[in-house]
Structures are given as structure tokens and as C-alpha cells.
């Protein structure tokens, strides 16, 4: 698979509600591997399929940023359930919103149900940083961004800054066209 490019705001795919993965085949497995490579290269700790131009319900998360292969989670059709209504605020960034760090409220404890790449159901009970990253990436699958957590004035300021940056930053050609 060619090297994947991370899409940035205001790319419209970032606002799409993603479709469930119907079949976990070689295409989905290759996409997950490419997503993990792109996430580590960025570097980042999570990436959702729409961030690389695929509108399907697939995320990868690795808090070790590639240092510990055991920490890589590939989740197909993930669903989040809140285990504790208590929320906490912390600063978040996003690979699709370069140079943006904003305080976001997230639930303290969540349970995520998903399929792994073998089609087996997995359940992750997560809190703290892992819980935060899972919530962030799963929101991407519903077309939501951290911008949606900001008040209207702050959101508009950040959007303007991102659009200006997008106009000034040329899009590199995809590796397939080189």
C-alpha cells in the first residue's frame, strides 16, 4: 500500500459519518497497517480512517508512538460506552488540526467494544490518556473534531487560522503519483 497522507481541516471527509466495516479483508488489514505507519511517522498516538481519506469505522491507537508493538490497538467498528459520568479537562491536539492544542472535556472512564483484525470482539475498559484518545478517535468516525468542543468564538478563530494555514501550505503529491 502506498504511504498514506493525513488529511487536514477543512478537508470535507473529516466531517463525514463513517460507514461500518462489513468485511475484514486484506484491504482493511492493509489500511490499518498503513494508518499505524502514518500515525507513527507524524508522530501521533491515534488515527481514524477518515483522516487518511477512508470513510469507514476503523481506528488505530498507540500511546507508545511505535515504541512498544504490544500497545498498538486496531479497532474495527468501535463503539464507546461511558462507565463514569465524571469528566475531566485536558489539552488535546489532532493530526488533522496542525498546531492546534485546545482544552477538551472527556469522560473519565469508558468501555470500547470493537472487532480486531481477525473479526473477534474485543472490549477495552479505559481511563486517563487511553480513554481520552479512544474517545477522540471514535468521534472522528462520526465527523466530529475537537473544534466542536470549543465555544463559538474560539471555534471560529481556530477555523480561520486553519483555513489560512491550508491556503499557505501546498499539498504534497501522493507517493503513487511520484
pLDDT digits (tens, 9 = 90+) for 44-91: 999 999 999 999 999 999 999 999 999 999 999 999 999 989 999 999
Residue with cell 469528566: 87
Is 62 part of any domain? yes
Flag whether the pTM goes above 0.85.
yes
Domain of 27 in residue numbering reads as 12-169
Is 143 part of any domain? yes
The total of structural domains in the chain comes to 1
- b/e sequence 82-103, b meaning 16+ C-beta within 10 Å: eeeeeeeeeebbbbbbeebebe
pLDDT score of 168: 77
CATH code where residue 20 lies? 3.90.45.10
pLDDT score of 171: 57
Q: Does residue 16 carry a catalytic annotation?
A: no
Is 1 part of any domain? no
Is 2 part of any domain? no
pLDDT digits (tens, 9 = 90+) for 154-175: 888 888 888 888 777 665 544 4
Structure-block grid coordinates of residue 64: 507508545
Cα 140 from Cα 42, distance rounded (Å):
17
Cα 46 from Cα 43, distance rounded (Å):
9
pLDDT digits (tens, 9 = 90+) for 115-124: 999 999 999 9
Is 177 part of any domain? no
pLDDT score of 164: 82
Catalytic residue among 3, 16, 86, 137: 137
Is 159 part of any domain? yes
Q: Residue 20, by phi and psi: left (phi above 0), alpha (psi -120 to 50) or beta?
A: beta
Amino acid at each position: 500500500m502506498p504511504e498514506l497522507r493525513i488529511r487536514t481541516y477543512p478537508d470535507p471527509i473529516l466531517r463525514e459519518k463513517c460507514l461500518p466495516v462489513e468485511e475484514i479483508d486484506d484491504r482493511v488489514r492493509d489500511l490499518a497497517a498503513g494508518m499505524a505507519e502514518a500515525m507513527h511517522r507524524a508522530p501521533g498516538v491515534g488515527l481514524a480512517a477518515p483522516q487518511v481519506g477512508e470513510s469507514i469505522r476503523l481506528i488505530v491507537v498507540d500511546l507508545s508512538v511505535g515504541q512498544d508493538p504490544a500497545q498498538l490497538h486496531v479497532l474495527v467498528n468501535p463503539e464507546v460506552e461511558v462507565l463514569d459520568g465524571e469528566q475531566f479537562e485536558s489539552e488535546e491536539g489532532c493530526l488533522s488540526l496542525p498546531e492546534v492544542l485546545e482544552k477538551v472535556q472527556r469522560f473519565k472512564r469508558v468501555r470500547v467494544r470493537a472487532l480486531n483484525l481477525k473479526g473477534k470482539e474485543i472490549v477495552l475498559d479505559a481511563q486517563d490518556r487511553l480513554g481520552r484518545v479512544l474517545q477522540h478517535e471514535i468521534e472522528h468516525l462520526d465527523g466530529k473534531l475537537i473544534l466542536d468542543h470549543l465555544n463559538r468564538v474560539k471555534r471560529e478563530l481556530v477555523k480561520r487560522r486553519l483555513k489560512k494555514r491550508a491556503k499557505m501550505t501546498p499539498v504534497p503529491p501522493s507517493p503513487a503519483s511520484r
